[in-house]
Amino acid sequence: MRTIFHLDLDAFFVSVERILDPRLNGKPVIVGADPGGRGVVSACSYEARRYGLHSAMPIRMAYKLCPNGIYLKGHYDEYIRYSNGVKDMLTKYAPLIKQASIDEFSMDFTGCEKIYGHLMSFASFIQKEIKEKLSLPCSIGIGSNKMIAKIASDCLKPRGITFVIHGLEKEFLAPMPVEVIPGVGKVMHSELNNRGFYLIKDILNYPEEYFYHTFGKSGQDLWDKANGRGSDVIHMGDYQQKSISKEHTYGKDELSRDTMKSTLFYLTSKVGQHLRDDNLQASTISIKLRYSDFKTLTRAKTVKPTDDDKIIFNTAWQLLDKAFTRRVTFRLIGISLSNLSDYAEQESLFEDEEAKRAKMLKAITKIRDQFGFHIIQVGTLQKND
């Protein structure tokens, strides 16, 4: 049996905002879009959750429920900085550590009792150190595998520690709703409820074969998880962002291609800058178009790895322009870059136009880092005739 820790930073974005501005302490804080717009909530404080708010909720609905809340756009660079600070701290103690997301970490402390004593007490030590040195609250789950530890970390939020004793995984999960199981999305949740499965203990009353024949391999995986089985292997390595994306939701529905093109140009500048800040290149460029009737289209194209705004924009605009075929107003457009890889500088005896442009983009990045993103824009945007 292994001993896995899952550490989750409580309301992380809000916690960082409160470090930056202590006047936010104790108040309902919402990080996300402008409440007068049509974006969504990225994160919210526990004070705001008492009003029924949650992440991914439409920002206008959040404002109706909590009009006295404090709405912020957020400081993503600061979130990255504090996340790195937590990882640096944890790396001092954990023999094996994997960053699962910007605010979640899995660690293997198997056999470390001889070094740190009882691991429940050691979890409390880690929790206090992160709070004292970085002013960040966190919750920790401890279990025999990553799934159990992750579910446990949610049990006593905020600032909780939950230790699931080895051998009692099924008893721990039994009274919980089925949607707690990782991988149970809206469709699976609805299917399970329709068949009378509301709690995990309901699943335990049926044999594995029933779920395999009903749901296929995903049903077998569901049954295994309901029985407390999960991976206990933590793969070393840095947390790698899988994609970089940016969206814009318009304050009112639009129909103009010029407006669409101008917005895409700006979004491309943002994601391109993000690539260069992280010394990355992207191979897949995707666009999203959502009409006013909420019909949503996505398109993607794979190109040679690049961090060049011009290539990204031209590719994205071709996709978006072809996708926009209905004479219906649109409410949102977005761009996403994936298949990310480390920047690889090409060597050449002669400096071609591509190499010159790469140098120019590096210079622009330095200027923006010093004076801000809006100080300089790349290229020009030609309007449609």
Query: What is the rounded distance in angstroms from the CA atom of residue 190 to the CA atom of residue 382?
Result: 48
Under a CB-based contact definition with an 8 Å cutoff, are residues 276 and 362 in contact? yes
Task: Compute the Cα dihedral for 148, 153, 156, 161 and give only its sign.
Answer: positive
Nearby residues of 171 by Cβ (< 8 Å), 6 or more positions away: none
Residue 34 DSSP SS3? coil
Q: Which of 159, 16, 154 is nearest to 78 (CA)?
A: 16
104 is catalytic: yes
Q: Which two tokens stand for residue 94?
A: 């954990």
Q: Which of 17, 47, 104, 169 is catalytic?
A: 104
Q: Which of 234, 228, 232, 235 is nearest to 1 (CA)?
A: 232
Q: Which two tokens stand for residue 29?
A: 């804080």
Q: Which two tokens stand for residue 316?
A: 């994205």
Residue 328 DSSP SS3? coil
- The burial class, CB within 10 Å (0-12 / 13-18 / 19+), for 88 is exposed
Q: Which two tokens stand for residue 221?
A: 């995986």
What residues form DSSP beta bridges with 183?
A: none
Q: Which of 266, 301, 256 is nearest to 373 (CA)?
A: 266
DSSP strands (E only) in the chain: 4-9, 29-32, 41-44, 70-72, 96-101, 104-108, 138-143, 161-163, 243-254, 280-291, 296-306, 330-342
Task: Compute the Cα dihedral for 168, 171, 172, 174 and give only its sign.
Answer: positive
CA–CA distance from 360 to each of 13, 252, 304, 315, 364 (Å)? 33, 37, 19, 20, 6
* Residues taking part in catalysis: 104
